[in-house]
Structure 1
Amino acid sequence: MSEPAAAVTPMMAQYLEIKRAHEGALLFYRMGDFYEMFFDDAVAAAEALDIALTKRGKHLGEDIPMCGVPVHAAEGYLLQLIRKGFRVAIAEQMEDPAEAKKRGSKSVVARDVVRLVTPGTLTEESLLDARRHNFLAAWCTVRDEGALAWVDISTGAFSVLACPPARLSRELARLSPREVLLAEETERDWAGVVSDSGASATPLARGAFDSEGGARRLCALFSVGSLDGFGAFSRAEIGAMAAVAEYLDLTQKGRMPLLRPPVQERPGGAMQIDAATRRSLELTAAMGGGRAGSLLGAIDRTVTAAGARLLERRLSAPSCELETVLARQAAVTHFVEDRAAGEAVRDRLRGAHDIDRALSRLALDRGGPRDMAAIRNTLAVAENLAGRLGGDLPEVLARAAEDLTGHDALHDLLDAALVAEPPLLVRDGGFIAAGHDVELDEARQLRDEGRSVIAGMQAKYAETAAVPGLKIKHNNVLGYFIETTATHAEKMMSPPLSETFIHRQTTAGQVRFTTVDLSELETRILNAGGRALELEKRLYSSLREAIIAEAARLSALARALAEIDLAAALADLARGEDWCRPHLSTGRAFRIVGGRHPVVEQALRKAGEPFIANDCDLGDSPIWLLTGPNMAGKSTFLRQNALIAILAQAGAWVPAAEAEIGLVSQVFSRVGAADDLARGRSTFMVEMVETAAILNQADDRALVILDEIGRGTATYDGLSIAWATLEHLNAVNRCRAIFATHYHEMAGLADRLDGVANATVAVKEWEGDVIFLHEVRRGTADRSYGVQVARLAGLPASVVERARVVLDALEQGEREGGGKRETLVDDLPLFSAAPPPQPAKSAPPEVEARLREVHPDGLTPREALELVYELEGAGARVREDPPRP
């Protein structure tokens, strides 16, 4: 955007200059109590925020579009813009308007961008989900190496991982970052992968990913001479971390957030779960979006925000290190066995605040007195909690308990300095407690007692002037003044009273005066108020520095509280839901007794229905071929076993009566069907892409659940693909798997392939209907019961009857013709000859008459049983001797 040849106003010239430096962002331009936007920014913002679009002045002969939002309500508008994919540059007034006027009447207040607000750099409480991380990630490639670094500036967590291109999608699915930094030359290649993860891609110059300059930048950031103390980082890892640091410096305008030293994740240290599997299993978000209906939503009983974030991290990346898993499991077991301790811990933790985020806001100077109070109150909770956690603790809890203590000096300082309920903003004042600072107390006394002095002075002047109605008032223009009616004003303006009362202003019906004493008192009172606020601001800065000096120990305390909260929450879950402690090993066992699906079980319980638990043992036969009709519960059975493995390696107890699990390195799920029209992929193509990923990546420690492979194409094509897939899993991948299918022809593979066993979901037929028992048993289903399920779904009776006719003909022809179903179609009766709809069957008249005589509430169990036999006998007689027409 360029200026016109003709002169523009100084203010608009300033706006255009700032805008040129931030072309990719909406510019919030501070004008007094409003942030204003102009030109295309105003048009876009007005539409996105649904606010009025107006105009202000002209540019190049055309009206300048304008809109604005109040400064005090800016956070709500920022949230809307960020959610809609905008970035916002905030330009603040850098000086007092009075200072600008000293340079001349046409001088413009100095303004500059103090912050660039982007999806990955949010810190404000109102802009964040307290129970979820807000990650900013950066991906870097150096020759054949790749690395992913990510940071949550609202908590200071900073991590890095070696990440070749093939793993990028999987890691982004695990982290769910809000924003991903890419080198400009690679953005086009990887923006689609980033977009699929739900993040926005932000290009940076290649220099931001430079490993040599980046190492120096990171050393300066963490005040160290070398990064070796944090880990042996590759060039790609250093480049990714350097890009994060560069971007934070750019967006925060040099005011860097408090970051913890980077943690280098070990490849293979966490269970690998790809994006398709996460969606299928609904680990942290349901298919429809949001927590409700997800595993995380079903099991989250944490009472702190930090504990909830830790639970999500553990579910998203279950550990593959046996020692780590057993240590976490032991912490949960401690609170399961000591219920009183667990409940006491949870009660105390309810008083804890999110000190990670409070600390981050204070470090960036976006905090306030309430953040300090949150830290003070949480330090008191930690001290109280440490007193409750005693005795012989498991390793995880013992380490956490150590970090709860040793904060007495900071707690005492904050407790003495802050009032019980401080205001939100520093500018509001009143947050420093009385008695903490002598100078502040004196200024406050003068400010507050000035009111009583004014009242005494008013009484004195009323007596001197003999005017009982005389008042001393105040406004922002005149300050303090004496006011009386015009009737009494004349004598006050005459000697000798005129020597005391000085006339200032006459209004309709009122005359205003001042005195020398009143002016002097006003000066002292006004100075005292300003002085008190200035002293509070100075004390706030001192407290902020004291808190930041303890940042490392406060971060350790926050992690300890989260760890304790998670262990106690998982223990409460295990007790409440009757879960068991799984036995984990380095072997290949996978034996589940009485396993349940935690989300489905909760839903059924709300509906007043029981959940049918099932066993699964992949020890002797690592692959189960599962058959059974739709709606029988195959998908639930598949998913529940994958979820049990994930929960176990997250350190939790599991929804089963018994569980023995050899560590699982990867979980793959191919359950359900959906197309991808945006990429031109049919349902079958999506199914094949996901199946290919499993066959190419699954190792012998993986757990694979597959449902209905090959159903999206022709019958024999699908059967052949499913057949070959099962053989590959058994012979090449050699993984543990549950393979659900409707192709009953595959049942014979159990006899031909070592390690494959048949299982089925049991059903029962009753008078043409199918009853789902939801029980998984060894063996095979004799058929799919598809027609019966269609009838339950509500298909017209004529269609169901026609389907039965076609099915019988096809099955008969297959038996007689060697399986060539296609040749039978020409022999079927025409569909136009389909039988007309049959009237609904009704009970025999004598049965209906007998039922009308029955009063169910008055029947004893024996009488009810006798009635059933009586009605069954009446029905049998009718069938043997049907009524004549």
Structure 2
Amino acid sequence: MSLETSKLDACQLTPMMQQYINLKKEWPDCILFFRLGDFYELFFEDAVTAAKELELTLTGRDCGLDERAPMCGVPHHAVDNYIHRMIQKGYKIAICDQVEDPQLAKGIVRREVTRVITPGTITDASLLDEKKNHFILSLYKLNRTYGLAACDLSTGVFEATALITGDTANHVLDEIARYAPSEILVNPAFETDGLWNALNIRQDIMMTVRPDDDYSLRTTAEKFPDISGQTPLWAQAAAAIMVYLEETQRLRPDHLRPIQAYSLDMFMNLDPSARKNLEITETIRERTRRGSLLWAIDRTVTSVGGRLLRRWIEQPLLNLSDILQRQSSIACLKEQYMVRQEVRERLQGLYDLERLAGKLALKTANARDLTALKTTLQKIPIILDSLESVKESWIMALKNVIDPLPDLTELLQRSLIEEPPVGLKEGGLIRKGFDESIDQLRDAALHGKQWILELEQSEREKTGIKSLKIGYNRVFGYYIEVTRANLSQVPDHYQRKQTLANSERYITTELKEMEDTILGAEQKLVALEYEVFCRVREQAAASIFQMQETAHALATLDVIAALAELADRENYCRPEISLSDQIDILQGRHPVVERTLSAGGFVPNDLQMDMNESRLMILTGPNMAGKSTYLRQNALIVLMAQIGSFVPAAGAKIGIVDRIFTRIGASDDLAGGQSTFMVEMSEVSQILKHATSRSLLILDEIGRGTSTYDGLSIAWSVIEYLADREILGCRTLFATHYHELTDLADKVFGVFNCHVAVREEADSVVFLHQIRSGGTDESYGIEVARLAGIPDVVVERANELLLQLRLEHGPRQKLAIRRNARPMNGQIDLFSASQALKASDAVIEELQNLDVSNMTPLDALNHLYDLQKKASRSKRSPS
């Protein structure tokens, strides 16, 4: 017989197993954690899966069938850790709890699924990154357009947009890269979309298909009755999120903020490649925060501020006035050192007000959470006092939003003890004097326990048994325990209750009567304390909106102060931001590399670009000299300028950039079946399709993944395309090892050369990391090999071969970029037929007759040299 739950006949199962099967059928796509006493148990296929994933012992339990049901379990107090591990492995979890007192139950204890946890709906702070939002996305596909909504259940952030123009599929991917969701909801039509396969193979995102009804106009109108007129696509995507959250949380998440609709032209567009290559929030190799731009510049002291700074970095601004507003506030606190230090010191003690508000709404806040809320609210007035002298307009506006909620603070102070327990149903939550009924029950229970102590002393005296003691457990209640050595002194009215190895346990009529009184009071006390706590929590939840507004204002204040601290400590400058086409950076530095070096160890460099004579820089120089660092640092400086931050430079003038594109590094796409060169060309294709005249392009080694002629031709053609103002004409940094391309500076308007300086010393070279005007044709590849640790014998042999080749063939000749090669003007025309290299028939015949298979490499080079000379003579001779 199969023990898959979907195939079991419930009638043959025990009552408890019938209850389990019925719940499992309601949540077939979830792993069901089923509360039994002090454990959460898993049965049947869920038990097999969990035992494997969590390395638990798989046992069995009688279920009414001939075969025992597979079973494993975890202690209830440790369940969060196991849930987290299952979520990380891509499972959805349904938590089934006992919803009635087992002592009051008639028959099987009633159980219900109280919450469902999926990768996108985690709210437990211990399972979240405190400085990162945790988004779930919803996509609604309609023909070639998309509605997109993003929600962070833990904080209440709710945003949405419609993608209806341009390359909408790529816009979807860009937004997914920006939000980095853990889960994406899609309507069934999305399963036929080309994006489905690209997203479904990703291990870091759970794709969940939801029914069309979740996205319907009827559902949208029900969830958002205030939306009038034609329903936007983003609202239908947002409606599906609301349905999903209500289903998984078993309540309406009223803490979600009003949806903030946005358009793509509000922010600088950074595609997934740019985010990865610039290492904005995580490094390429280890995918860790350390080593990223965020790591280098984050000086925030609160978790809510850390999340906001991350969002600023992930979505640089395009609106000039918004950028200048941020700059002004940062400049203000940069200049007011004492105010800044005091504000930062006082912010440091705040708890996560934004996520505390979310817990209140979801009814998952415990007494310690409310105590943290009280502590945070108590500190707000002194933060406001620190800002008393600040007159900058935005900071003053933030100050007016911050609400210390004095009435709520006073309620929490009166109602809860200073250090309450984590559990809510164990008592010990409510402060004395807050509730008269609780005080009375607590007094009765306390007096009862005092009576027990007095009885213990009295019985010792009456019996003469000095070791006699009165104990308690949940099974037998209160009992008198006597060791075996003293059993002869036990009075006749003692009633034996339990025999142990070294003692006997007894009860008396008097003890039993007092037990009923004490336990009755304690049970009522625990129940009443929980009831009163829930009332206090509901009262606190009434202020959720004010908490969220205050949290956002405090987060903004934290980010402003943090960026001011960064600018002051690291000697950053305030860039001049404008709508011009200028990028003028004086002594720019890489913010990440600089932080990893000792003070003064980074060599700064300049950059002057515009969309006229200096549109496209061709940067040459050896590996290890710092080309890639220079390219990235300028992109990061532009990005930092557009979040409103000061930048690592002596001075900077930045004309707003709408997009930053990057093509850096070599990697293949094994899952997609693409080679390294194909990936490179695909990325270049996307750049050429989507870049605008206001974009900034960072291109490193275009064309290196194929033959020299192919690679050079592609790189040459790309440069012409990018530099041509009638086609694109955008600002571009183009690093290359094709030194032939430096000749384009004389032929293509807007192209200019720079190189990374190197100083030759005896048998080695010193990389100066300085960017200088003009091109270079030296690569110093053997020196780089030496620095990389290639064995000396290999390096020495390479030098010998290089010398031999130069002696035999002269200095390396560049492939000619011919004088009559025309830059493209709307059409691609690299080499006309008349420009193709020709050789005489005799040279061709000789080449065809060569026995290449039996030649040594040196013979082949000599023959090739001879053929080259003959071809040159043939080309010069009159026809």
Residues 483 and 511 in structure 1, CA contact (< 8 A), matched pair in contact too: yes
Residues 740 and 814 in structure 2, CA contact (< 8 A), matched pair in contact too: no
Q: Does 1:200 align with 2:206?
A: yes
**Which residue in 2 is equivalent to 1:843?**
none
**Which residue in 2 is equivalent to 1:612?**
603
Written as runs of structure 1 = structure 2, the 5 A alignment for 1:412-451 is: 412-451=410-449
Cα offsets for 1:698-736 (capped at 9, x unmatched) = 111111111111111111111111111111111122211
Pairwise CA distance, 1:403: 2.4
Cα offsets for 1:125-162 (capped at 9, x unmatched) = 12111111110000112344322100000001000012
**Which residue in 1 is equivalent to 2:868?**
none
Cα offsets for 1:411-436 (capped at 9, x unmatched) = 11112222222222212322322222
* Match of residue 256, structure 2, among 252, 259, 262: 259
- Secondary structure of 1:331 counterpart: helix
Cα offsets for 1:61-86 (capped at 9, x unmatched) = 54532222222111111111111111
Further displaced range: 588-597 or 776-785:
776-785
Further displaced range: 759-768 or 52-61:
52-61
* Match of residue 19, structure 2, among 7, 14, 37: 14
Q: Does 1:183 align with 2:187?
A: yes
Supply the distance in 2 between the matched residues of 1:4 and 1:598 (Cα, whole angstroms): 65
Q: Does 1:151 align with 2:151?
A: yes
Cα–Cα, structure 1 residues 767 and 367, in superposed 2: closer, same or farther, change >3 Å?
A: same
Cα–Cα, structure 1 residues 460 and 631, in superposed 2: closer, same or farther, change >3 Å?
A: closer
In the alignment, residue 604 of structure 2 is paired with which amino acid?
A: A
Cα–Cα, structure 1 residues 61 and 460, in superposed 2: closer, same or farther, change >3 Å?
A: closer
**Which residue in 2 is equivalent to 1:81?**
86
- Secondary structure of 1:29 counterpart: strand
Written as runs of structure 1 = structure 2, the 5 A alignment for 1:480-491 is: 480-481=478-479
* Match of residue 750, structure 2, among 746, 755, 774: 755
**Which residue in 1 is equivalent to 2:626?**
633
Pairwise CA distance, 1:11: 2.5
Further displaced range: 60-69 or 286-295:
60-69
Unaligned runs of 5+ in 1: 220-225, 495-500, 835-885
Further displaced range: 796-805 or 680-689:
796-805
In the alignment, residue 649 of structure 1 is paired with which amino acid?
A: Q
- Secondary structure of 1:772 counterpart: strand
Pairwise CA distance, 1:370: 1.1
In the alignment, residue 142 of structure 1 is paired with which amino acid?
A: L
Pairwise CA distance, 1:770: 2.2
Further displaced range: 249-258 or 69-78:
249-258
Residues 3 and 13 in structure 1, CA contact (< 8 A), matched pair in contact too: no
**Which residue in 2 is equivalent to 1:856?**
none
Pairwise CA distance, 1:330: 1.6
Further displaced range: 12-21 or 552-561:
12-21
Supply the distance in 2 between the matched residues of 1:373 and 1:366 (Cα, whole angstroms): 14
Residues 33 and 41 in structure 2, CA contact (< 8 A), matched pair in contact too: yes
In the alignment, residue 654 of structure 2 is paired with which amino acid?
A: I
**Which residue in 1 is equivalent to 2:224?**
218
Residues 10 and 18 in structure 2, CA contact (< 8 A), matched pair in contact too: no
Instruction: Provide the alpha-carbon RMSD of the alignment.
Output: 3.0
TM-score using structure 1 length:
0.86
Pairwise CA distance, 1:558: 0.7
Supply the distance in 2 between the matched residues of 1:681 and 1:628 (Cα, whole angstroms): 29
* Match of residue 743, structure 1, among 726, 730, 738: 738
Further displaced range: 550-559 or 564-573:
564-573
Q: Does 1:730 align with 2:728?
A: no
Residues 14 and 64 in structure 2, CA contact (< 8 A), matched pair in contact too: no
**Which residue in 2 is equivalent to 1:874?**
none
Pairwise CA distance, 1:58: 6.7
In the alignment, residue 309 of structure 2 is paired with which amino acid?
A: L
Residues 675 and 683 in structure 1, CA contact (< 8 A), matched pair in contact too: yes
Residues 117 and 248 in structure 2, CA contact (< 8 A), matched pair in contact too: yes
Cα offsets for 1:227-286 (capped at 9, x unmatched) = 35xxx8853111110111111122123353521111011220000000011110000010
Supply the distance in 2 between the matched residues of 1:813 and 1:742 (Cα, whole angstroms): 14
Residues 310 and 563 in structure 1, CA contact (< 8 A), matched pair in contact too: yes
Cα–Cα, structure 1 residues 281 and 492, in superposed 2: closer, same or farther, change >3 Å?
A: closer
In the alignment, residue 514 of structure 1 is paired with which amino acid?
A: T
Size of the alignment, in residue pairs? 811
Supply the distance in 2 between the matched residues of 1:511 and 1:696 (Cα, whole angstroms): 85
Supply the distance in 1 between the matched residues of 2:234 and 2:810 (Cα, whole angstroms): 61
In the alignment, residue 607 of structure 2 is paired with which amino acid?
A: C
In the alignment, residue 348 of structure 2 is paired with which amino acid?
A: R
In the alignment, residue 276 of structure 1 is paired with which amino acid?
A: S
Residues 359 and 371 in structure 1, CA contact (< 8 A), matched pair in contact too: no
Residues 787 and 803 in structure 1, CA contact (< 8 A), matched pair in contact too: no
**Which residue in 1 is equivalent to 2:593?**
600
Supply the distance in 2 between the matched residues of 1:489 and 1:791 (Cα, whole angstroms): 88
- Secondary structure of 1:119 counterpart: coil
Residues 150 and 159 in structure 1, CA contact (< 8 A), matched pair in contact too: yes
Supply the distance in 1 between the matched residues of 2:233 and 2:715 (Cα, whole angstroms): 40
- Secondary structure of 1:293 counterpart: coil
**Which residue in 1 is equivalent to 2:875?**
none
Supply the distance in 1 between the matched residues of 2:13 and 2:403 (Cα, whole angstroms): 62
Pairwise CA distance, 1:112: 2.7
**Which residue in 2 is equivalent to 1:624?**
617
Supply the distance in 2 between the matched residues of 1:371 and 1:253 (Cα, whole angstroms): 21
In the alignment, residue 155 of structure 2 is paired with which amino acid?
A: T
- Secondary structure of 2:356 counterpart: helix
Identity %: 39
Pairwise CA distance, 1:611: 0.7
In the alignment, residue 283 of structure 1 is paired with which amino acid?
A: I
**Which residue in 2 is equivalent to 1:582?**
575
**Which residue in 1 is equivalent to 2:314?**
316
Residues 352 and 381 in structure 1, CA contact (< 8 A), matched pair in contact too: yes
**Which residue in 2 is equivalent to 1:787?**
782
* Match of residue 239, structure 1, among 225, 236, 239: 236
In the alignment, residue 73 of structure 1 is paired with which amino acid?
A: A
**Which residue in 2 is equivalent to 1:778?**
773
**Which residue in 1 is equivalent to 2:830?**
none
**Which residue in 2 is equivalent to 1:498?**
none
Pairwise CA distance, 1:587: 1.1
Written as runs of structure 1 = structure 2, the 5 A alignment for 1:810-849 is: 812=811, 814=813, 830-831=856-857
Q: Does 1:691 align with 2:722?
A: no
Pairwise CA distance, 1:53: 1.8
Cα–Cα, structure 1 residues 544 and 801, in superposed 2: closer, same or farther, change >3 Å?
A: same
Written as runs of structure 1 = structure 2, the 5 A alignment for 1:115-194 is: 115-163=115-163, 164-189=168-193, 190-194=195-199
Pairwise CA distance, 1:211: 2.9
Residues 692 and 730 in structure 2, CA contact (< 8 A), matched pair in contact too: yes
Cα offsets for 1:532-587 (capped at 9, x unmatched) = 22222122111111111000000011111111111111111111211111111111
- Secondary structure of 1:540 counterpart: helix
Residues 187 and 201 in structure 1, CA contact (< 8 A), matched pair in contact too: no
- Secondary structure of 1:98 counterpart: coil
**Which residue in 2 is equivalent to 1:801?**
800
Supply the distance in 2 between the matched residues of 1:305 and 1:640 (Cα, whole angstroms): 27
Written as runs of structure 1 = structure 2, the 5 A alignment for 1:649-688 is: 649-688=642-681
Supply the distance in 2 between the matched residues of 1:318 and 1:653 (Cα, whole angstroms): 13
Residues 743 and 817 in structure 2, CA contact (< 8 A), matched pair in contact too: no
Further displaced range: 589-598 or 724-733:
724-733
Supply the distance in 2 between the matched residues of 1:464 and 1:542 (Cα, whole angstroms): 48
Q: Does 1:43 align with 2:48?
A: yes
Residues 426 and 537 in structure 1, CA contact (< 8 A), matched pair in contact too: yes
Pairwise CA distance, 1:458: 4.2
Cα offsets for 1:770-804 (capped at 9, x unmatched) = 22111001111132223332343326021342244
Supply the distance in 1 between the matched residues of 2:698 and 2:815 (Cα, whole angstroms): 35
Cα offsets for 1:641-699 (capped at 9, x unmatched) = 00001111112111111011011110001111111121111111111111111111111
Written as runs of structure 1 = structure 2, the 5 A alignment for 1:858-877 is: none
Residues 741 and 817 in structure 2, CA contact (< 8 A), matched pair in contact too: no
Supply the distance in 1 between the matched residues of 2:483 and 2:609 (Cα, whole angstroms): 98
Cα offsets for 1:719-777 (capped at 9, x unmatched) = 11111111111112221111111222222222222222111111122224222111001
Supply the distance in 2 between the matched residues of 1:60 and 1:477 (Cα, whole angstroms): 31
In the alignment, residue 728 of structure 2 is paired with which amino acid?
A: N
Q: Does 1:537 align with 2:530?
A: yes
Pairwise CA distance, 1:56: 2.6
Cα–Cα, structure 1 residues 476 and 679, in superposed 2: closer, same or farther, change >3 Å?
A: closer
